[in-house]
Amino acid sequence: MAQSVEIVEVGPRDGFQSVKPFIPTATKISILEKLFAAGLRRVEATSFVSPQALPQLADAAEILAAALGLPALDAQVLVPTARHAARAINARAQHIAFVVSVSDSHNRSNVRRTPAESVAEYATIVAALPVGTKLRLNLATAFDCPFEGKIDEAATLALLDQLVAIAPQAEIALCDTTGRVTPDHVTSLFAKSFARFPQVPGWAFHAHDTYGLGTANTLAAWHAGVRVFDAAIAGLGGCPFAPGATGNVATEDLVWMFNGMNVETGIDIDALVDVAQQVATLPGGQIGGRVRDALAAKSRREKALA
């Protein structure tokens, strides 16, 4: 395969945070290890947030410790504020992902701050990062907001003007928080972002599958030149602050698509589907995706004919 992409598995963070019944820490670690065994080499392992706000992620330090024990695994952790970033750094996090929303209403719902206040938090975090710490910026509601609707591209680019100036070395992920974006909007915003910020070393796309366009939008981002994509095993997820938003695009769906395009992912689709089947049974999980069920049906038929 002449081309390759990097898939960032966000199920252990974005997926698990939407599940209300507490998933035992040992179960989370077992799933993380199985994802690693299937070939995932970059995972958003957890998030350092208020345990009162998201009790599902109260075991962040334990999960990060387990992730750091897996050789060559790039374990990024999401943080919403400087205080929680300090907690993550104290837990030996080596890859920090910060999140800020373009829309004022979503940012206030998510982190109880205006976007301007989050920009100031970001500057504080960047200034305090230990040397060698990797940095990712997740720009939520980059395309659409659950409260304000479609986001003007000029608003997204204007916020990026401030954020890129603070940390031009950061990878930037444009996030379709609601899953309502269409491929033409994905292509347009990435093209404008590439042209405006040539100094940014890497771009990523975070897709939700609310309207069944997760893979189509991912493909649009790929054609635009993006090579890093977020996805969640079994399509697990759903933003707690974005009413009606379903899960992330399923990891197995993206791997299947890219395999068919002869684009290397480094991931074993059969091993991945096995993990997806387990994740799909988690109590309280909101799942999605198509490849998992299709391959399971194919396997059952082959066994019946054997």
Residue 94, H or E segment: none
Strand partners, 174: 139, 205
Return the amino acid letter for 174.
L
CB 74 within 8 A of CB 37: no
How far CA 203 is from CA of 40, 102, 139, 161, 170, in Å, comes to 19, 17, 11, 15, 9
Q: Give the active site residue among 29, 77, 219, 239.
A: 239
CB 204 within 8 A of CB 226: yes
Query: What's the N-to-C CA distance of the chain in angstroms?
Result: 32
- Could you confirm whether 239 is annotated as catalytic? yes
Residue 137, H or E segment: strand 134-140
CB 136 within 8 A of CB 171: yes
CA dist 247 and 234 (Å) reads 9
Which of 252, 243, 239 is closest to 279 using CA atoms? Answer: 252
Residue 150, H or E segment: strand 149-150
Which of 65, 61, 64, 58 is closest to 44 using CA atoms? Answer: 64
List, by residue number, the catalytic residues: 239
